[in-house]
Amino acid sequence: MEGEVTFPGMKPQASVIVDIAGYDKIVQAVQEGAETDPQAAQAFPGLLAIKGFAKTLPDGRFEWVVDAKADGSVIVNGAMLKPADAVQDNPIIDPSDATVPDNDPDGGDNGAKLQP
């Protein structure tokens, strides 16, 4: 696996290449385990789906080139897996600008109180 992850505008962006040798052996082992292990049974369809996006290299390894953009879109080996997120009307609020309501019963400005 090799790649780069950055955070432009506080949103993740990644360009990653994943190569795996022996993927068919992994799938076979999980398929056999699925007969008795519920977690393996849940993972098995996902492994098959992931394989469907793979590119087979000349040496038999599988490769996935994953581009996840800051707009939320995800492309795997040139196939759009997820389109860009819808643009929201509300800008991202910086948590340091947020205020906590004052629930002081006497109406004073004592700030927020946390109860353990």
- Where are the chain's structural domains? 2-84
pLDDT of residue 100: 53
pLDDT band at 8 (very low <50, low <70, confident <90, very high): confident
Rounded to 5 degrees, what angle do the CA atoms 73, 42, 3 make?
35
Q: What is the pLDDT of residues 53-73, one digit of tens each?
A: 999 999 999 999 999 999 999
Number of helices (H) and strands (E) in the chain: give both, helices first.
2, 6
Q: To which H or E segment does residue 4 belong?
A: strand 2-6
